Amino acid sequence: MNIKITHYLYLAATIFFTVYGQLVLKWRMNQISGMPTEFFEKIRFLVFLIFDPWVFSGFFAAFLASLAWMAAISKFELSHAYPFMSLNFVIVLVLSGWILHEPITFQKSLGVAFIVIGTIIVARV
């Protein structure tokens, strides 16, 4: 398979949009009060969230990630491209610690280190 470096931009875009979506949704949910307990209040709450510009941007990022993913798997074997998606775990861990001030524990760091090692092993061309 002839792999061009520009094809990796599709993978990078998939990762970027996926991470953005996860971080912005969590950030926004931290700002909004918790899920109501009553059924109709839950529905109202979820409809409100759909129209929140930040939440919508997270959903739109997921859509863009899907488009980038389709482009990526048109250029790579799935068994080569898919391990790169595990990098989302690494980036989300680091950015959630930095941006959302979530704790980065030794166990989380060790788990992410294993993910990185596994990604390197599996993704070798």
| pLDDT band per the 50, 70, 90 thresholds, residue 121 | confident
CA–CA separation, 73 vs 125, rounded Å?
A: 15
Reported as a single tens digit per residue, the pLDDT across 2-53 is 678 889 999 999 999 999 999 999 999 999 878 888 999 999 998 989 899 9
Reported as a single tens digit per residue, the pLDDT across 44-69 is 998 989 899 999 999 999 999 999 99
So where are the chain's domains?
5-122
CA–CA separation, 79 vs 60, rounded Å?
A: 26
According to the model, what pLDDT value does residue 1 have? 52
| 124: pLDDT strictly greater than 80 | no
- Of 24, 63, 20, the residue nearest 32 (C-alpha): 24
According to the model, what pLDDT value does residue 118 have? 84
| 116: pLDDT strictly greater than 90 | no
Which sign does the torsion angle of CA 116, 121, 122, 124 carry? positive
Q: CA-based angle 10:98:106, to the nearest 5?
A: 100
**Residues 45 and 12 sit within 8 Å (Cβ to Cβ):** no
CA–CA separation, 94 vs 101, rounded Å?
A: 10
According to the model, what pLDDT value does residue 120 have? 82
